[in-house]
């Protein structure tokens, strides 16, 4: 049953409250009866979009699983209540804790599994290892299938071999996965473009945000995928940190968003959703405040004005040196591939956003053992000259090096 407060909460009140100030208070209301999902108000349910030409529809907001899910089951319940039914996890997230947490939720709420579009990822690139990781993921989550299975974090399509294609077909025939694709944070445009030509990729999760979405190569790559029937999920949609109020552009932008009742974070989501080719946004929402603010943005139908987009574009240009665009093929060629510059940039961002653990896991699993020596031995000045974002690569590599044990 809903509380009397909830019965009186109109959609407009909800948006005003959740979008501006009181999300944590709202989220702490007793919103979680056993039959919460059955009582969901369609007007307060996040909309869905077709996922490419797969025949599936997904919620336009996806719950990213890079948080302590076992201890935060209430977030999953809350996501369900508001129709955030696309859940994203990975074999490696939290060293398995993310998938175990989802399994814990399905165990307590078995009726909800069929309502969820469940995504997980294999870090492995070899079919045999992928099978092992898939079985582990199924077991951890207590489910017999994964709706969309990704090869995790590729920077080119070389790992998508014919053996992997056969592996994906077999896993589909066995019913263990329904769809197959990959996620990418590096060289996204070339990954998307060549995936569109493969003919057997169902879905892609790619870095995509207000900084990248207007670039011609990104527009062409997304278009090619759409024509190939590939569903696209955007991630890293915040494009770096929060908007400060240092420059004129930022002050103007912040003022316009406040007038409309948005935060800058919500506006960045809306900018991505305004492209109908993007099926969903995967967002890390580790607490109810962020989750409710994002739900509020997804329910809100006010569009950004052309002036808002213009200011965001100006802001993207003004602050480009603080954002790594993932074009690893440029800087890593300059250092002969000896240092994974783009990965390190991303993990520096993770460290600031998600804390120590992701950075430590990355160092443990992905960094060459002699990375400190490699960084110390390299002159990054030619990479800096070629970096389109004008990032101080040398300085940031030394900062990363200092963080390593």
CB of 385 to ligand SF4, least distance (A): 10
CB of 155 to ligand SF4, least distance (A): 10
DSSP-derived secondary structure for 8-47:
T--HHHHHHIIIII-HHHHHTSS---TTTGGG--GGGS--
Out of 89, 133, 157, 389, the only residue in the binding site for ligand SF4 (CB under 6 A) is: 389
Say how far apart CA 125 and CA 229 lie, in whole Å: 24
| Nearest to ligand SF4 of 115, 399 (CB atom) | 399
Say how far apart CA 88 and CA 204 lie, in whole Å: 12
* Residue whose entry in the numeric block shows the structure tokens 């996204």: 188
Strand partners, 183: 205
Single out the residue of 145, 299, 173, 273 nearest to residue 213, CA to CA.
273
Structure tokens at 311: 């200011």
Question: Is residue 387 within the footprint of ligand SF4 (CB under 6 A)?
Answer: yes
- Please work out the total of residues on this chain that contact ligand SF4, with binding judged by CB under 6 A: 14
Out of 46, 341, 371, 397, the only residue in the binding site for ligand SF4 (CB under 6 A) is: 341
Strand partners, 315: none
Question: Is residue 326 within the footprint of ligand SF4 (CB under 6 A)?
Answer: yes
Contact range with ligand SF4 by CB under 6 A, out of 14-22, 32-40, 243-251, 326-334: 326-334
CB of 185 to ligand SF4, least distance (A): 10
Yes or no: say if 266 and 295 are a contact pair by the CB < 8 Å rule.
no
Question: Is residue 342 within the footprint of ligand SF4 (CB under 6 A)?
Answer: yes
Question: Is residue 345 within the footprint of ligand SF4 (CB under 6 A)?
Answer: yes
Single out the residue of 334, 133, 316 nearest to residue 218, CA to CA.
316
Contact range with ligand SF4 by CB under 6 A, out of 152-160, 249-257, 320-328, 370-378: 320-328
Say how far apart CA 307 and CA 346 lie, in whole Å: 30
- Name residues whose C-beta falls within 8 Å of residue 216's C-beta, 6 or more positions apart in sequence: none
CB of 206 to ligand SF4, least distance (A): 15
Contact range with ligand SF4 by CB under 6 A, out of 1-9, 82-90, 258-266, 319-327: 319-327
Up-side HSE of residue 381: CA atoms within 13 Å toward CB?
A: 1
Out of 66, 78, 134, 325, the only residue in the binding site for ligand SF4 (CB under 6 A) is: 325
Out of 251, 330, 363, 403, the only residue in the binding site for ligand SF4 (CB under 6 A) is: 330
Interface with ligand SF4 (CB under 6 A): 324-328, 330-331, 341-342, 345, 387, 389, 391, 393
């Amino acid at each position: 049953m809903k509380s009397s407060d909830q019965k009186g909460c109109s959609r407009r009140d909800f948006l005003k409250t959740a979008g501006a100030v009181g999300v944590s208070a709202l989220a702490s209301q007793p919103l979680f009866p056993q039959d919460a999902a059955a009582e969901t108000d369609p007007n307060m349910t996040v909309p869905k979009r077709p996922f490419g030409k797969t025949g599936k529809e997904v919620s336009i907001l996806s719950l990213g699983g890079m948080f302590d899910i076992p201890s935060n089951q209430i977030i999953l319940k809350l996501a369900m209540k508001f129709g955030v039914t696309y859940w994203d996890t990975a074999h490696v997230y939290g060293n398995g804790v993310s998938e175990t947490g989802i399994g814990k939720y399905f165990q307590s709420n078995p009726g909800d599994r069929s309502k969820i579009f469940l995504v997980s990822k294999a870090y492995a690139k070899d079919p045999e290892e992928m099978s092992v990781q898939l079985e582990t993921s199924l077991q951890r989550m207590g489910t017999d299938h994964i709706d969309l299975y990704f090869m995790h974090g590729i920077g080119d399509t070389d790992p998508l071999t014919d053996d992997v294609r056969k592996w994906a077909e077999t896993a589909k025939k066995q019913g263990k996965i329904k769809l197959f694709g990959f996620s990418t944070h590096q060289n996204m445009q070339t990954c998307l473009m060549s995936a569109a030509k493969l003919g057997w990729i169902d879905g892609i999760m790619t870095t995509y945000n207000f900084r990248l979405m207007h670039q011609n190569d990104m527009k062409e790559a997304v278009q090619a995928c759409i024509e190939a029937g590939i569903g696209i999920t955007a991630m890293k949609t915040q494009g770096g940190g929060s908007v400060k109020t240092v420059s004129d552009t930022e002050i103007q932008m912040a003022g316009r968003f406040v007038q409309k009742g948005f935060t800058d974070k919500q506006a960045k989501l809306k900018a991505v959703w305004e492209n109908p080719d993007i099926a969903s946004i995967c967002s890390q929402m580790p607490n109810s405040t962020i989750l409710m603010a994002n739900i509020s943005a997804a329910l809100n139908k006010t569009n950004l004005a052309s002036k808002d987009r213009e200011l965001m574009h100006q802001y993207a240009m003004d602050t480009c040196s603080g954002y790594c665009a993932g074009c690893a093929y440029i800087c890593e060629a300059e250092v002969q591939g000896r240092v994974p510059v783009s990965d390190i940039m991303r993990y520096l961002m993770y460290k600031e956003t998600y804390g120590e653990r992701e950075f430590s896991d990355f160092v443990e699993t992905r960094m060459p053992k002699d990375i400190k020596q490699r960084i110390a031995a390299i002159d990054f000045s030619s990479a800096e000259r070629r970096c389109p974002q004008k990032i101080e690569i040398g300085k940031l590599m030394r900062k990363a090096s200092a963080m390593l044990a």
